[in-house]
């Protein structure tokens, strides 16, 4: 495991006896999907790529925005100028950091129709998402297909993380019956977020991932860890199977309601004055033709990955599969109307 500049790329990691040569070889043979390449996902993905995890899938639906640069460490102002989706920008930066690792970036929405295809076939799922509806969907895939995943979330100066190993630990639905109702909990829009807590929680998350992938899964924590970086308070909570109830619908009942499409995913994007619109049945847009048409109604920018259209106080980021992120509104009905007006029904 020698890099092109000479010397052993992973020598300091191999000297750590809990990993050693055998653990490093297991990391090289392992695979992980990072679901969401925002603040948490960018830190975790960077650690895992640099540690030599053999295959990494980076999954994200969004593009790099100016407000991301405060805490999403993989991105630069050039990514912003070049209209790069996060998954592509993250892929490019991590390939430049470690050419030995197979890294793919996928620009898609994670939903009930795409989850099995996007998340299965990997040894571990790392949570970098920003909403509970998607996390409950990941939980369904994890339990149904026997793939461990590591839940994590941050808000303000507080963060939590928990390992979920099907058949061994509690799952997310043991921790909470349902996703919180819209408006029931603060979001990064209302409470903000400090970059340092992201680094703390993502580092713990990546450390647990290294235990799992290097052949030491028995050393993974079975507790929910909470850290308040402002008060320096740390809490550990044991979450029993079923959450102390008699029966967990997912773990015990094998009811995968979110995977079957039961979930009510909010189209409003966390941290953005924006709504995502996915046309029924998807689509296959000719972005060049669309750019020519929209150019008569407003300002248009294009990259190899997307089209961005600005008019009348709104900005539409449109992807080749027909999906669009509409900035300037938090009203899903208004977003769908704008989509129909400018892209088509």
Report the candidate in 316, 279, 322, 283 with the shortest Cα–Cα distance to residue 301.
316
Pair of tokens at residue 59: 């999954």
Please report where in the chains the tokens 């006896």 appear, as a residue: 17
Report the candidate in 219, 215, 220, 225 with the shortest Cα–Cα distance to residue 53.
215
Considering the candidates 37, 171, 174, 188, report the single residue annotated as catalytic. 188
CA distance 342 to 30: 44
Cβ-in-10-Å burial (0-12, 13-18, 19+) of 44 comes to buried
CA distance 330 to 328: 7
The pairing of strands 299-302 and 149-155 is unpaired
Percent helix, percent strand, percent coil in the chain, to nearest 5? 35, 20, 45
CA distance 249 to 174: 8
Report the candidate in 164, 196, 177 with the shortest Cα–Cα distance to residue 253.
177
Please report where in the chains the tokens 């999954």 appear, as a residue: 59
* Contact indicator for 258, 265 with CB cutoff of 8 Å: no
CA distance 61 to 19: 34
Tell me whether residue 37 is one of the annotated catalytic residues. Answer: no
> How would you list the strands of the sheet with 102-107, edge to edge?
102-107, 55-60, 31-35, 124-127, 149-155, 158-164, 223-228, 233-238
* Contact indicator for 139, 149 with CB cutoff of 8 Å: yes
Report the candidate in 110, 145, 113, 144 with the shortest Cα–Cα distance to residue 127.
110
What amino acid positions are annotated as catalytic residues?
188
């Amino acid at each position: 495991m020698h890099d092109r500049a000479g010397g052993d790329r992973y020598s300091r990691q191999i000297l750590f006896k809990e990993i050693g040569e055998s653990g490093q070889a297991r990391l090289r043979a392992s695979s992980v999907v990072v679901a969401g390449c925002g603040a948490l996902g960018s830190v975790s993905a960077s650690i895992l790529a640099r540690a030599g995890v053999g295959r990494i899938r980076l999954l994200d639906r969004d593009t790099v925005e100016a407000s991301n640069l405060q805490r999403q460490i993989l991105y630069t102002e050039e990514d912003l100028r070049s209209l790069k989706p996060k998954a592509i920008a993250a892929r490019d930066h991590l390939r430049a950091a470690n050419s030995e690792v197979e890294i793919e970036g996928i620009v898609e929405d994670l939903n009930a129709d795409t989850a099995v295809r996007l998340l299965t076939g990997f040894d571990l799922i790392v949570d970098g998402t920003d909403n509970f509806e998607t996390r409950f969907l990941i939980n369904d895939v994890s339990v149904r297909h026997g793939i461990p995943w590591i839940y994590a979330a941050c808000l303000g100066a507080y963060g939590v993380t928990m390992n979920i190993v099907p058949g061994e630990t509690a799952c997310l639905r043991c921790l909470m019956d349902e996703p919180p109702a819209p408006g029931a909990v603060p979001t990064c829009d209302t409470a903000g977020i400090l970059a340092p807590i992201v680094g703390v929680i993502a580092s713990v998350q990546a450390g647990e991932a290294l235990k799992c992938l290097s052949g030491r899964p028995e050393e993974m924590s079975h507790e929910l860890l909470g850290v308040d970086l402002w008060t320096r308070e740390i809490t550990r909570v044991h979450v029993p199977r079923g959450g102390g109830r008699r029966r967990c619908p997912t773990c015990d009942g094998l009811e995968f309601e979110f995977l079957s499409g039961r979930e009510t995913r909010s189209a409003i994007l966390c941290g953005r004055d924006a709504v995502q619109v996915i046309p029924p049945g998807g689509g296959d847009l000719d972005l060049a033709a669309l750019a020519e048409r929209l150019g008569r109604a407003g300002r248009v920018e294009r990259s190899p990955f997307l089209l961005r259209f600005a008019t009348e106080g709104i900005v539409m980021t449109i992807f080749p599969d027909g999906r669009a992120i509409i900035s300037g509104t938090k009203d899903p009905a208004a977003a769908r109307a704008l989509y129909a007006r400018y892209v088509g029904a």
